[in-house]
Amino acid sequence: MKTSIFITTILATVISLASCQNSNAKPIANNVEETSAIEKPTADGNTKIQVALLLDTSNSMDGLIEQAKSRLWNIVNTLTTLKYNGKTPEIEIGLYEYGNDGLSATTNFIRQVAPLTTDLDLISEKLFTLKTNGGNEYCGAVIQDATKNLVWGKDSNNMKLIYVCGNEAFNQGGINYKEAISDALKNDIYINTIFCGNQTEGVNTHWKDGADYGKGKFFNIDSNKVIQYIVTPYDVEITKCNDRMNNTYINYGSKGYEKKRSQMKEDDNAKTISSANMAARAVSKSKSAYKNDSWDLVDKAKYDKEAIGKLKKEELPAELQNKTKDEIKVIVDQKTKERETVQKEIGELSKKRQAYIDEEAKKTKSQDDLGNAISTSIVSFAKVKGYTVEK
């Protein structure tokens, strides 16, 4: 088991098309082809972009986990630049861990941490709970499980991507990786591999072959580099906007209160990484991909105009329980307008922030990291699938 510390980015890539394109992350396989726990129709008939992250959580992968935590929101922001027929696709992210001795040998040491879901706070929460331990890394097994047990969309315009990340031989375990990948391809799921080590070793240990066979991309990552954050003059103001935006959420239902608390906790988790990471999260929260209609009445009312009338008194927060439906509607409308105003402000600040980051990035050599690898390949697949990139 190798000890390569992977502290870089599971999503700093995605912070913008420009930064993605300037990335030094090195894809070897360029043969890109057209490519929530419960399946449901996408809003307005939009297509889906589904990304499953399969992370090695053996002892040597503490850095990989740190990168995943620190770059999630940058990846999300990259995804939100993609449009299909002028519409924003529904974004779902799923999460697996594998290669951890704390998991059962009967499951090949793999675990579905989170299903493909639009609940981005859930993905963040789960990333911050991952711990490394021991390791028997079976890439074929985890690909097979993700293919069979995640709920993948059926629309031919959906973009469905798996990213396998690790540093041991790709062909370990009793499940042949080529057979597992073949099953994925039958469902139009494309396999990308990210090897935490030098390029030659990644080729020799079948990581490149996995990507070639999966019609995806192979990347090797310098896992010893520490993340370099670009702090901008706009980060503080964006974070202040985020605080105002948080005040527009109205929790409802049995899980509403806990989900609102979780939202605040993930803000705090983002801040522990860096102020730049918190700003990236705030930008994500201002986009349509960040939706919480399962617990937030403002989001719920956007998709269901009769939502307020359907709720029982006990499903409302205490401060609304003694108000009439009309009074509640006035409050929801007010919070909706407030949120839209803040989202617009963040959008304008975000453009300035990104321009600043792009300019600063030209002055230093870009890092090879997980985030850049994921961003670069997402944009490549998107273009082949007929998606457009809008900053």
What the chain holds in terms of domains, given with CATH numbers, is: 13-228+365-389 (3.40.50.410), 235-361 (no CATH)
Q: What whole-number percentage of the chain has pLDDT above 90?
A: 75
Specify the DSSP element, H or E, that contains 159: strand 159-166
Residue 43: what are its φ and ψ, rounded to 5°?
Answer: -60, 135
Residue 185 sits at the vertex; the CA angle it makes with 184 and 187, to the nearest 5 degrees, is: 70
Q: What pLDDT, on the 0 to 100 scale, is given for residue 368?
A: 64
292 falls in which pLDDT band (50, 70, 90)? very high
- The overall average pLDDT reported for the chain is 87
Q: For residue 370, what pLDDT is reported?
A: 79
Q: What is the mean pLDDT of residues 159-188?
A: 97
Instruction: Look at residue 343 and tell me whether its pLDDT is greater than 80.
Output: yes
Confidence grade of residue 339 (pLDDT, cut at 50, 70, 90): very high
DSSP alpha helices (H): ranges in the chain? 17-21, 62-79, 120-127, 139-149, 177-186, 199-204, 207-213, 235-246, 256-273, 275-285, 297-303, 307-310, 325-361, 370-384
Terminal CA-CA length for the chain: 41
Cβ–Cβ < 8 Å for 379, 21? yes
**DSSP structure class, residue 87:** B
Contact 241, 216 (CB under 8 A): no
- Quick one: pLDDT at residue 222? 72
